[in-house]
Amino acid sequence: MLYFIPLQANFFIFTMSTSKRLFLLDAYALIYRSYYAFIKNPRINSKGENTSAIFGFINTLEDLLKRENPSHLAVAFDPPGPTFRHTAFEAYKAQREKTPETIIWSIPYIKEILKAYRIPILEVEGFEADDVIGTLSLKAEKEGFETYMMTPDKDFGQLVSKHSFIYRPRYGSSEFEVMGIEEVNKKFGLKHPCQIIDLLSLMGDTSDNIPGCPGIGIVTAQKLIAEFGDIDTLLNNTDKLKGSVKEKVENNREQILFSRFLATIKRDVPIEFVEEEFRMVPRDEKKIMNIFEQLEFRTLMKRISASNSYAGSEKKPAGHPEGEKKLFTPIFVEASQPGASKKKPAGLNLQTSLWDEQGNAVGPSSLPTKIKTQQNIVGNDLFSNNLSAINPDESTDSLPESILSSLKNTAHHYHILDNEKDIGVFMKEFSESDFFAFSTKKQGTEAMNAQLTGIAFSKEKNKAYYLPCPDNRKKCKELLNSFKPLFENKRSLKIGYDLKNEILLLRNYELLLAGPLFDILIAHYLIQPELRHDLDFLSKSYLNYQCLIKEGLPELKAKKQGESQDLNAEQSLRVEQDLEVEQSLSAKQNLSAEQDLNVKMAAEFICEQADLYLQLKSKLETEIEQEGLNNLYYEIEAPLIYVLADMENSGVYIDTEALKSSSVLLTEELNGIEQEIYDLAGTTFNVNSAKQVGDVLFERLRIVEKAKRTKTGQYSTSEEVLETLRSKHPIVSKILSYRGLKKLLSTYIDALPLLINPKTGKIHTSFNQAVTATGRLSSSNPNLQNIPIRDDKGREIRRAFSAGPGEFFLSADYSQIELRVMAHLSEDENMIEAFRLDQDIHAATAARIFKLPIEDVDQDMRRKAKTANFGIIYGISTFGLAERMGVSRAEAKKLIEDYFETYPKIKAYMDDSVQMARENNWVETVFHRKRYLPDIQSRNAVVRSYAERNAINAPIQGTAADLIKIAMVKIYQAFESAQLKTKMILQVHDELDFIVPEEELEQVKKIIIYEMENAASFKVPIKAEIGVGKNWLEAH
């Protein structure tokens, strides 16, 4: 019996009426559910392992234990090999796609974790988990238990009784629902749960490939069951049926009976229910923590440490039958041995342990450790790199800090440089070093405008120095002047994090960084482009270390405050706030005690960062070499840091008067469109409100019968939706025009003047080197990538980006670079020939497709060829191409076939790229930049198709991105070598922009063209084009 306690709308916590409660978990159903819950945003740890399935399953298990505190529990797995259903029906579940590699990889981990929880693992040869659960639920019911079958599978409905329930995860939620007899009957329209077997016998089950009766769907099946009660009665009374239903049932009598056989969950599997063997007992927290640490489950570790609320965490009850021996041995039963011992049968290799009895990693012999390198095989040292931080003598009750090292439990020597003598000794020591790591403390978020408050240096593990900087900028510059030889040494390697911003910050104090760079952020971005790159994540992942950034210095602060009791509450609060936001460490100058406190705290905080940068460098450096990324990092990305810093520092002038004029004109036009919208609607409303727009379009005007809605139930009025409705009513085009103008005004025309730096009078956009998965640069404040260029109004924005007096705005653009890259990668002779002959590639493509001389190709043919060139190579579908070109699907299909006939090696390249991704879970550019694609193995066709498209276009886009970065570095170095005043200021897509003094124009043109066109040696010529004007628009 269930008792429901209402808490809030649509949410219940339930309690059961008996203390004997058995929970049986359908392992694979829950594992698959967990895997697909993260399919769009998988959990990838620092080793490249996709831990989504493991994390989701264990999270579900933890929720269950916390919510329900079950007295008895077990987890049932399907066995390897066929079951009796497969033997009887070869096509049983045959339509299912191959199990994703990630799930196969996850199963041994999940089983090891269950062993650590001391939860029985049920697996019976020849029988599915459904049958095991069905048998045990019946036997447990006879022993006075209430059984809760945890599964999302509808088939289990047939097992529901007065004492057996489905405990079902809600879709898209962490909540669960309990389904008893009434709930099952209501859901399936039946009188008794056992009729689910009859229902499936008729309608079939596509998920299990149960055929059912062809032509009979759920509605007809429900009617037949309601009338006849069960299959036997139905088949004995087919004379009462009429029309096609009678014909279908009579013609498929044997198939219906066979479907019933397949759909029936067996309840006589050779397995015994021994109450004590299913009882929850204390888990092995030490082993659990060990496993979770290796998988990087930080949140779960904290939950485990903090939770002692269920039976599995309580002390072992006195008189436990196993005494001090191992508390539980998981159950394994062979079908050929009814009533056999529940010990593991010989030769069952799936249960091979990843850990020994002491909780130490021993590793499987054939587990791939990384999503990114599925081919890699690991042996007994699977986790050896991470075990050094674990003390086997520590209590399992301790918090994760006992597993992660930190400043509190690590011997360290951090020194404050607060006098000339110490600074002199420091400079002598560091000036002779070939490398050092450093980190800065600043007040303010923008590097160019920030105030430097301190610098930390390290060249030896666990040892660092902190230089506090005066608030007075002049005094700070004077202090830092003695450090110039250190920073400007072109021989020594500088190690840091986000060094571009460090360069910009130090420039404010006339410190010019020089020499080779090792940037922790950029290095990890190359290794794992789609993971987090913050110091907290990296220090945990690579060093098993909890840094102060995440902790917020709580204990350190308390310790220091204890040493300085004279601080009042207001001062203490300010110290806390300063720490949390990482801003100024000395808000006022009149409290020497507080100043001293802040400097000491800052010293530990910033010294730790420099120390960690130094330690991470050796780890990442090794991985960069192992992954074959040396050239990409040292020849492209590292030198580019200097280039981007210089570009940001240079900035670009904005013609604010031109923007003001545009704003006035566009605002007037916007108001006019708004009035037209009101006239067409017959009412006024807020055109900026998606809800009100939806109400007007779909309720007031009823432009379509069935309008698309969002997940919240609101009418969808996205641009994509409205584009499909343009022809339905004139108001739709007006709304789209209104939105376009509104975005132009708010995002650029009115916003750009607000971004001008008052000190320089320029806009200094930020270039992001470690954001995109493809390797392209992105920009922010403003985002130059999204400035519209396809219409006149959008292009006008470029007019505002201008050169100064005596200067020109020069724009250099790669011509058809992605198609040239495709020609190089595919080695297609026809496309290579077109580029070598310097033909218009779209006209040349049209000539080959339509089998005409190139001079006879008209504009419509060229347009279609252009669409094909930029669509087909990125995996566009027949439907997509037809829609984009405005032609029939048959014509689009023919065009695709002709395209591949014209460029046969492009089709081969596309197929090979997808195959490579399937084999390795990654693809790479010409310069070995990798793009990891774990979704390439997805069972979800939409998700998998997206990954397949990325497999094709990532090498193309990534190579184009690498190429322009190489050109940027070479051009920058050529300018420095020639001591030119020309400045590179912008990079947008395949374009580079410069501000050029008039007297350098001709020389600069030659340098730019040469370096861009010779950035790499390809099988086709690389071509760059240049435009010059007084502003960005004129340069095009």
- Here the CATH number for the domain that contains residue 514 is 3.30.420.10
- Last residue of some domain: 871, 905, 938? 938
Helix (H), strand (E) at residue 793: helix 792-799
pLDDT recorded at residue 40: 64
Position 220 in a domain: no
Give Cα 231 distance to the centre of its chain: 49
Please tell me the distance from the alpha carbon of residue 802 to that of residue 848, in angstroms, as a whole number. Answer: 43
Extended strands (E) in 395-548: 405-406, 413-416, 435-443, 451-460, 463-468, 493-496, 517-519, 545-546
Query: Count of domains in the chain?
Result: 5
Assign residue 726 the CATH number of its domain.
1.20.1060.10
Q: Buried b vs exposed e over 800-825: b needs ≥16 C-beta within 10 Å?
A: bbbbeeebbbbbbbbbbbbbbbbbbb
* 345 occurs within a structural domain: yes
**Same domain (yes/no): 340, 462:** no
Tokens standing for residue 108 = 């041994």
Instruction: Enter the pTM of the model.
Output: 0.65
DSSP 15: E
Same domain for 954 and 880?
no
Q: How far apart are CA 317 and CA 67, in angstroms?
A: 22
Which residues does the chain have with pLDDT short of 50? 1-17, 309-402, 550-591
Q: Identify the CATH number of the domain in which residue 812 sits.
A: 3.30.70.370
Residues 903, 983 share a domain: no
Instruction: Tell whether 428 and 485 lie within a shared domain.
Output: yes
Q: Number of helices (H) and strands (E), helices first, in the chain?
A: 40, 27
Q: Say if residue 583 is in the same domain as residue 623.
A: yes
User: Residue 561 domain-assigned?
Assistant: yes
- 804: helix, strand or coil: coil
What CA–CA distances, in Å, run from 372 to 8, 31, 45, 375, 934?
Answer: 44, 21, 11, 9, 8
Whole-angstrom Cα distance, residue 813 to residue 794? 19
Q: What share of the chain is helix, strand, coil (3-state, %, to 5)?
A: 50, 15, 35
> How distant, in Å, are the alpha carbons of 646, 950, 959 from that of 1007?
18, 34, 22
Q: Are 1005 and 992 contacting, i.e. CB atoms less than 8 angstroms apart?
A: no
Largest CA distance in the chain: 108
Residue 89 lies inside a defined structural domain of this protein: yes
Copy the structure tokens of residue 666: 């566009």
Q: Answer yes or no: do 821 and 784 share one domain.
A: yes
State the alpha helices, DSSP H only, in 827-873. Answer: 829-836, 841-849, 859-872
Pair (590, 713) in one structural domain: no
Residue 491 main-chain phi, psi, to 5 deg? -90, -35
- Co-location of 914 and 952 in the same domain: no
Answer yes or no: do 727 and 821 share one domain: no
The separation between CA 84 and the C-alpha centre of its own chain, rounded to angstroms, equals 40
Q: Which of 627, 653, 681 is the last residue of a domain?
A: 627
Q: Is residue 425 part of a domain?
A: yes
Residue 461 structural domain: 410-627
141 with 36, same domain: the answer is yes
- Beta partners for residue 654, in sequence order: 801
> Residue type for 383, please?
F
Q: What is residue 943's predicted lDDT score, i.e. its pLDDT?
A: 83
Which residues share a beta bridge with 176? 169
What pairing do the DSSP bridges indicate for beta strands 435-443 and 493-496?
parallel
Amino acid 579 reads L
Q: In the listed set 706, 734, 763, which residue is the last one of a domain according to the structure?
A: 763
Same structural domain, 57 and 153: yes
In a domain, 506, yes or no: yes
Is 41 inside any structural domain? Answer: yes
Q: What is the CATH number of the domain that holds 931?
A: 1.10.150.20
CB atoms within 10 A of CB 882: 19
Cα-Cα-Cα-Cα dihedral sign, residues 620, 624, 627, 629: positive
Same domain assignment for residues 521 and 425: yes
The per-residue DSSP string of 895-942 comes to HHHHHHHHSHHHHHHHHHHHHHHHHHSEEE-TT--EEE-GGGG-SSHH
**Quick one: pLDDT at residue 583?**
35
pLDDT at position 321: 31
Could you tell me whether strands 21-26 and 146-150 are parallel, antiparallel, or unpaired per DSSP bridges? parallel
Residue 807 lies in a domain: yes
For 716, the 3-state DSSP assignment is: coil
| Spatial CB neighbours of 95, under 8 Å, sequence gap ≥ 6 | 206, 209
